């Protein structure tokens, strides 16, 4: 059934070229007719450990392969020295620090020189002058007079930036800790462990961890702040295809990601060898950033957690391995236990684990994703089994189901009627496509059934080249197309309740996929034009959709209307929030009518995001395309406004409560 009051206004417009200063377009906002409520979860974020988003990114551990658990246990480490060098270091597994952490390094020094074991970090180790780090290590020695462990942080040029030493090893494992301060900034430092003197040392879980973290909860401050600055309504985690794994054995299992880090079980990151053209042989998941930290981050940035769980299916782009339907119980139990971990009382089994980690209060999780990007009957069968149990035991939790990898392919067409029949809560749609697709599909949801399941546009990004191409760019053309599309999401807030751009982070030195919303290196991060589009929508969300009519002559490009508008009302401030995307190369002169408003405030806030289509942000010019805010006098409820070429504009006009 089509919705009545908001016909696809964009499509109804006539073609014309706008060259004169006379208003060619009339933009009427029915400020006194608030429509659908805009969900507080409308604009969110999608976190996946891809492109070194977690280890080597948001999780700021500087030591790679800190527990010697990579299949090549000395990957990332290099042994050298005058005392046997590489031969002085072996990897052992007898009597380890834990069953999930089976390997450790044994350094045997014969006492005629030194043995150095150096860790290269993730593309080096980023350190800033004056920054404090906790160096920690589990160690033991069988010797009555054990050797001393010296450690030093050295810059790329070999200069020592900090150092310390640890003595007092006993025959039992013990964790040692020292604080050091870096004397200079270096994005590519490394850590040396140096053993001098005769004897044997067993070392495990070697860590160099910054003291300063986001809200003191362990994550890299600049990257977490970028997320907070988006003011997201939710965060989906931990992915993405890493939920699924190539095979079920390396699927994401949340229970192995909580508790003391020494007990978290490392697995190979699914993106390690996914793309032959972007191999990442040292990409593993330490799970230092695990489910507890994800929930904590959601709380810290004020958004709803949306965990996604494996539903008994390995990635259908890979093995497509299935857990037989009659063996799904452990997967469903994982979901039930997760709800208890997030929301249960401290007296419950899993609630107690949450409390033991430092959060007795529930995280108040309301959303749960069943499977990532799954498709066809095998998914429907598994979703059905999950939904049956979860809906009976936890009707308060809204379940997110999958419509597959594309926005309109056969898998998508298969999924929707089935999910509708199953009365699914929220269906996750994905789309990676050329900018034109987004421009042409701003009216997509105008045609959706208003009574069926709600929509989560859970992964989308305009691709300047094509999906998984290394040539994709985060340019303004793509961001502008996304902005145009997002006007359609907001306008259809009665159907679309959540959306998120994907992927979120990309490390410039180690990405597998582009484009990404935020780029970082070891010390810096910057938002792309796409980031600022997301931010403008999110920070100007509004509470109720206001109907908008466009009339007059609009410019078209490629025979398609390319001028987009949506409006919302902010209940608290009483402002009308108008978002306009002019995706044409010409300015568009408009006459804006605030229908139903007699006396608007005298000043509107105008935020403009504009650039040349090829523009991108970078570390050198992080705000080349970034919002600029100004004020503008408003004469009354009718005023003229010229929307600049290739721009997104947000106008906030006080309209009374």
Q: In this structure, are residues 82 and 114 in contact, taking their beta carbons and an 8 Å threshold? A: yes
Write out the binding residues for ligand AHR, residues 22-81 only, by CB under 6 A: 48, 50
Q: Is 405 a binder of ligand AHR (CB under 6 A)?
A: yes
Which CB, 48 or 575, lies closer to ligand AHR?
Answer: 48
Least separation in angstroms between residue 271's CB and ligand AHR is 8
Give, in order, the Cα–Cα distances in Å from 572 to each of 255, 401, 554, 576, 654.
41, 33, 33, 11, 11
Q: Which is nearer to ligand AHR, 66 or 473 (CB)?
A: 473
Q: Which of 25, 241, 323, 586 binds ligand AHR (CB under 6 A)?
A: 241
Binding to ligand AHR, residues 482-511 (CB under 6 A): 502-503
- Assigned token pair, 42: 């409308």
Q: Least distance in Å: CB of 482 to ligand AHR? A: 14
In which element (H, E) is residue 220 found?
none
Min dist CB 316 to ligand AHR, Å, is: 10
Part of the chain binding ligand AHR (CB under 6 A), chosen from 66-74, 123-131, 238-246, 250-258: 238-246
If one asks whether residue 513 binds ligand AHR (CB under 6 A), the answer comes out as: yes
Query: Quick one: which of 67, 109, 372, 535 contacts ligand AHR (CB under 6 A)?
Result: 372
- Is residue 453 close enough to count as binding ligand AHR by CB under 6 A? no
Nearest to 282 by CA among 509, 87, 448: 509
Rounded Cα distance between 372 and 374, Å, is 6
Measured CA angle at 184 (ends 280, 65), to 5 deg: 30
| Gap between the Cα atoms of 182 and 134, Å rounded | 11
Q: d(Cα 565, Cα 579) in Å, to the nearest integer?
A: 6
Phi, psi of 104 (to 5 degrees): -150, 165
Closer CB to ligand AHR, 55 or 446, in the complex: 55
Q: Which is nearer to ligand AHR, 119 or 285 (CB)?
A: 285
Q: What is the dihedral of CA 359, 363, 368, 373, to 10 degrees?
A: -60
Residue 253 Cβ vs ligand AHR, minimum distance, rounded to whole Å: 17
**CB 533, CB 506: distance < 8 Å:** no
Does 120 sit near ligand AHR (CB under 6 A)? no
Among 373, 425, 589, 616, binds ligand AHR (CB under 6 A): 373
Do the beta carbons of residue 466 and residue 609 sit within 8 Å? no
DSSP state of 301: H
* Cα-to-chain-centroid distance, residue 162: 33
Among 120, 152, 204, 459, binds ligand AHR (CB under 6 A): 459
Q: How far is the CB of 31 from ligand AHR (least distance, A)?
A: 38
Task: Identify which of residues 47 and 123 has a Cβ nearer to ligand AHR in the complex.
Answer: 47
Annotated catalytic residue within 120, 152, 304, 373: 373
Taking a C-beta distance cutoff of 8 angstroms, is the pair 280, 76 a contact?
A: no
* Residue 457 Cβ vs ligand AHR, minimum distance, rounded to whole Å: 13
Q: Which is nearer to ligand AHR, 35 or 515 (CB)?
A: 515
Beta strand pairing call for 496-501 and 454-462: parallel
User: Residues binding ligand AHR: what is the number (CB under 6 A)?
Assistant: 12
Which of residues 44 and 503 has its CB atom nearest to ligand AHR in the complex?
503
CB of 426 to ligand AHR, least distance (A): 16
Residue 61 or 373 having the CB closest to ligand AHR: 373
- The DSSP bridge pattern shows strands 186-196 and 267-268 to be unpaired
Tokens for 227, please give them.
Answer: 């997320």
321-348 burial, b at 16+ Cβ within 10 Å, e below that, comes to bbbeeeebeebbebbbbbbbbbbbeeee
Q: Taking CB under 6 A as the rule, does residue 240 contact ligand AHR?
A: yes
Cβ proximity to ligand AHR, 445 vs 513, nearer residue? 513
The residues in 278-337 that bind ligand AHR, with binding defined as CB under 6 A, are none
DSSP-assigned letters across all residues of 177-217 = EEEEE-SS-EEEEEEEEEEESSEEEEEEEEEEEES--GGGS
Least distance in Å: CB of 397 to ligand AHR? 22
In the complex, the smallest distance separating the C-beta of residue 350 from ligand AHR, rounded to whole angstroms, is 27
Residue in the shown chain whose Cβ atom is closest to ligand AHR: 240
Q: Any catalytic annotation for residue 132?
A: no
Of these, 44, 81, 124, 239, which contacts ligand AHR (CB under 6 A)? 239
Q: Report the largest interatomic distance among the alpha carbons of the chain, rounded to a whole angstrom.
A: 91
Binding region for ligand AHR (CB under 6 A): 48, 50, 239-241, 372-373, 405, 459, 502-503, 513
> Would you name the residues annotated as active-site residues?
373
């Amino acid at each position: 059934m089509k919705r009545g009051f908001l016909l696809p206004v964009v499509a109804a417009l006539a073609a014309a070229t706008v060259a004169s200063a006379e208003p060619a377009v009339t933009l009427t906002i029915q400020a006194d007719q608030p429509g659908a409520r805009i969900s507080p979860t409308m604009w969110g974020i999608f976190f996946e450990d891809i492109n070194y988003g977690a280890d080597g990114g948001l999780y700021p551990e500087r030591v790679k392969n800190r527990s010697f658990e990579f299949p090549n246990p000395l990957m990332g480490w290099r042994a050298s020295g005058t005392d046997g060098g590489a031969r002085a270091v072996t990897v052992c597994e007898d009597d380890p620090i834990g069953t999930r952490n089976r390997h450790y390094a044994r350094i045997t020094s014969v006492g005629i020189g030194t043995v150095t074991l150096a860790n290269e970090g993730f593309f080096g180790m980023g350190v800033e002058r004056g920054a404090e780090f906790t160096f920690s290590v589990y160690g033991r020695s069988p010797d009555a007079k054990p050797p001393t462990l010296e450690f030093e942080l050295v810059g790329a040029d070999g200069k020592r930036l900090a150092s310390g030493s640890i003595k007092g090893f006993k025959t039992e494992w013990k964790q040692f800790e020292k604080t050091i301060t870096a004397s200079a900034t270096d994005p590519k430092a490394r850590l040396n462990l140096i053993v001098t003197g005769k004897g044997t040392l067993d070392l495990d879980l070697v860590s160099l961890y910054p003291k300063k973290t986001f809200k003191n909860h362990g994550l890299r401050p600049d990257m977490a702040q970028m997320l907070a600055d988006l003011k997201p309504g939710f965060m989906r985690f931990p992915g993405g295809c890493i939920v699924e794994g190539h095979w079920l054995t390396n699927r994401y299992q949340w229970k192995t990601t909580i508790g003391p880090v020494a007990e978290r079980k490392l697995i190979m990151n699914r993106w390690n060898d996914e793309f032959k053209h972007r191999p990442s042989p040292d990409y593993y998941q330490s799970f230092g950033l695990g489910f507890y930290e994800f929930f904590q981050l959601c709380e810290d940035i004020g958004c709803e957690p949306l965990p996604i769980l494996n539903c008994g299916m390995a990635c259908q782009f890979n093995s497509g391995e299935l857990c037989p339907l009659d063996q799904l119980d452990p997967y469903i139990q994982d979901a039930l236990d997760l709800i208890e971990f997030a929301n249960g009382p401290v007296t419950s089994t899993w609630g107690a684990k949450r409390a033991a980690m430092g959060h007795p209060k529930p995280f108040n999780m309301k959303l749960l994703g069943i499977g990532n990007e799954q498709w066809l009957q095998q998914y429907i069968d598994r979703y059905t089994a999950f939904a049956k149990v979860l809906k009976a035991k936890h009707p308060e939790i809204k379940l997110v189901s999958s419509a597959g990898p594309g926005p309109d392919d056969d898998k998508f067409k298969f999924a929707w009627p089935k999910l509708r029949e199953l009365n699914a809560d929220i269906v996750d749609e994905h789309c990676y496509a050329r900018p034109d697709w987004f421009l042409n599909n701003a009216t997509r949801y105008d045609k959706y059934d208003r009574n069926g399941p709600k929509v989560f546009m859970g992964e989308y990004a305009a691709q300047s080249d094509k999906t998984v191409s290394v040539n994709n760019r985060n340019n303004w053309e793509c961001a502008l197309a996304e902005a145009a599309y997002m006007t359609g999401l907001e306008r259809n807030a009665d159907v679309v309740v959540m959306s998120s751009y994907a992927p979120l982070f990309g490390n410039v030195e180690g990405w597998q996929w582009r484009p990404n919303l935020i780029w970082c290196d070891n010390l810096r991060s910057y938002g792309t034009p796409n980031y600022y589009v997301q931010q403008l929508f999110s920070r100007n969300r509004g509470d109720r959709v206001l109907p908008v009519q466009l009339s007059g002559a609009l410019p078209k490009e490629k025979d398609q209307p390319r001028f987009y508008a949506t409006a919302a009302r902010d209940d608290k401030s009483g402002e009308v929030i108008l978002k306009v995307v002019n995706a044409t190369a010409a300015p568009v002169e408009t006459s804006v009518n605030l229908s139903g408003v007699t006396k608007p405030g005298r000043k509107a806030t105008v935020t403009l995001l504009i650039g040349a289509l090829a523009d991108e942000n970078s570390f050198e010019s992080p705000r080349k395309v970034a919002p600029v805010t100004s004020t503008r006098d408003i004469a009354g409820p009718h005023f003229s406004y010229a929307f600049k070429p290739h721009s997104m504009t947000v106008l906030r006009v006080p309209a009374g409560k």
